Amino acid sequence: MEKLIIKGPTPLRGDIRVSGAKNAALPIMASALLASGTHKITGTPHLRDISTMIELLKHIGAAVEWNDEINITVDKLNVDEAPYDLVKTMRASVLVLGPLVGHLKHAKVSLPGGCAIGARPIDQHLKALEAMGAKIQLNEGYVEVRAKELHGANFTFDIVTVTGTENIMMAAVLADGKTILNNVAKEPEVVDLANHLRDMGADITGAGTDKITINGVAKLKPHPHHIIPDRIEAATLLMAAGITGGQLTISNFPSSMLDTAIDKLRSTGMEITIDGDIVHVERNGTLKSVDMTTAPHPGFATDLQAQFMALMSMASGTSIITETIFENRFMHVPELIRMGANINVDGGISVIKGVKSLKGAPVMATDLRASASLVIAALAAEGTTEIQRIYHLDRGYEKIEDKLNLVGADIVRTENKVG
Ligand code: EPZ
């Protein structure tokens, strides 16, 4: 297994570019199952999760080529199943459920099972499909969805769910009649998917608000799509500059998708100037401790919580971070404590007392964003940090050590002999 060896502290200085968004690419790729023909997708990041989605689409019967761009050709789909061995490696595989049911009126998808950050059920996805006339069967760890006819429905999600909203949008675009979805996710990736479905011929309005309205159409056709920049990677880079006291100029930066995060980081004393999609960030003086509570978009993203905690671990004062989306998203805490952070956790609330400096130490990545927080901490820590199980990091960050080394970091990827 590979690990990263990071020597700190290294103030980051220079220019860096944000890659395409993993969480936009995955639903866009799944949407190819809605229309026969060849779907061309550009700007996709080179990540493990993208490879997993390609494997899944090929298993279902699509032909996929991935050079600089991804071309997904759908004609006859021979399998409408997402097998356990693929779904267990990537929960987002569940995103084939909506398009398969929407196009073929049948799908058999392995239940994703929990993951490190929580149980992450898909009950809302299934409840919405039932409201649209689908019959749901659960057996042997698989959910089977059949629908003679999928009809429109007026459905309110009990809980805001990103992939739930995406799945049901993709099921509804070919359904018979009008579907109104309430209490939907408003993430930019949801809006990008709705824009793409409209380009494919769907009649869909309201994405980005609390209510999405879809009038089913008979057929969709492929349409080329360029993936939006990754707002989570972008904000992660801001915090890497903030914790190391560096100065970064970041291009391809989706500032309009990060209002809350940018406001929060400015309140810690970071100077962030925006010029179109170029952002300059630097930190003069000490970081101030600031409280934060995660919330669905446009709130502070749960995917930035671990990184923000690393930043606050070196701020002057005490900050309270509350995680409201996932029930177990503090697994970076014990690892940050090993590096000298002073953090106490009680349920979904963590209290961070800033320390003057962190110390390099061997630590373990546990999930995608936790690993990003360890990288951020290691860049600022005194001495050498070894981060093991970095396959978690590779799921969501494209060659992060290459990017960071170009702006002054000292990171080496190496094979970990033991374990
Ligand atoms: C998406 O996951 C993202 N993944 C996650 O990013 C992100 O953390 C999450 O949204 C929240 O923003 C992709 O877009 C591929 P949810 P998703 O359904 O859709 C509960 C990353 O780091 N829930 O919005 O799976 C659920 O348990 C990943 O890139 C139900 O109870 O998240 C959670 O507590 C990690 N029933 C909350 O809702 C359901 O049917 C939000 O989950 C669905 C969800």
8 with 43, same domain: the answer is: no
Nearest atom (ligand 1) to Cα of 126: 40
**317 plus 337 within the same structural domain:** yes
What integer pLDDT is reported at residue 47 of this predicted model? 93
Hey, what long-range contacts does 357-361 have (CB within 8 A, 24 or more apart)? Answer: 357/9, 357/314, 357/381, 357/382, 358/313, 358/314, 358/382, 359/383, 360/6, 360/7, 360/8, 360/384, 360/385, 361/385, 361/386
User: In angstroms, what is the span from residue 162 Cα to ligand 1's centroid?
Assistant: 6
Residue of minimum CA distance from atom 21 in ligand 1: 303
- Letter for the amino acid at 217? V
> Could you tell me if 40 and 51 lie in one domain?
yes
pLDDT reported for residue 116 = 72
Specify the number of domains making up the chain: 2
Query: Which of 161, 187, 189, 257 to mutate for ligand 1's pocket (most ligand atoms within 8 Å of CB)?
Result: 161
361 and 240, same structural domain?
yes
Helices (H) and strands (E) in the chain, counts: 14, 24
| 115 assigned to active site | yes
Which residue in 77, 104, 115, 345 is the catalytic one? 115
d(CA 275, CA 382): 34
Q: Which residue's alpha carbon is at the smallest distance from atom 27 of ligand 1? A: 120
d(CA 415, CA 7): 17
Same domain, 254 and 208: no
Helix (H) or strand (E) holding 40, with range, is: strand 37-42
**Angle CA(358)–CA(364)–CA(365) in degrees, nearest 5?**
100
**The pLDDT of residue 117:** 77
Residue nearest to atom 18 of ligand 1 (CA): 161
Segments forming the whole domain that contains residue 362: 2-19+229-415
Integer angstrom CA distances of residue 193 from 160, 183, 189: 17, 17, 6
Three-state DSSP class for 70?
strand
Q: Which run of H or of E encompasses 258? A: none
CA 112–ligand 1 middle distance (angstroms)? 12
pLDDT value at residue 418: 59
**CA–CA separation, 372 and 384 (whole Å):** 16
Q: Which ligand 1 atom is at minimum distance from the Cα of 26?
A: 15
Ligand 1 center to 391 CA (angstroms): 20
Decide if 352 contacts 361 (C-beta within 8 A): no
Q: Cα of 117 to ligand 1 centre, how many Å?
A: 10
Residues 297 and 211 in one domain: no
The helix (run of H) or strand (run of E) holding residue 319 is strand 318-322
Structure tokens at 355: 């320390």
Please check whether residues 127 and 144 belong to one and the same domain. Answer: yes
Q: Report which residue type is found at 210.
A: D
Cα–Cα distance for residue pair 137/27, rounded to 1 Å: 24
Classified as helix, coil or strand, 387 is strand
Last residue of a domain, one of 226, 242, 269: 226
Ligand 1 site residues (CB inside 6 A) read: 23, 26, 91-92, 118-125, 159, 161-164, 185, 302-303, 325-326, 368-369, 396
Residues 149 and 245 in one domain: no
Is there a single domain that holds both residue 257 and residue 213?
no
Last residue within a domain, chosen from 226, 256, 282? 226
Instruction: Tell me the mean pLDDT per 10 residues along the chain, length 419.
Output: 95 97 98 97 95 94 95 86 84 94 92 76 95 93 92 97 98 98 98 98 98 98 98 97 97 97 97 97 94 98 98 98 95 97 97 98 94 97 97 90 97 80
Q: Does residue 153 contact residue 163 with C-beta atoms inside 8 Å?
A: no
Q: Tell me, what's the pLDDT at 416?
A: 74
250 and 275 assigned to the same domain = yes
Statement to judge: residues 234 and 221 lie in one domain: no
CATH of residue 174: 3.65.10.10
Residues 46 and 126 in one domain: yes
CA distance 412 to 65: 31
Of 194, 226, 258, which residue sits at a domain end? 226
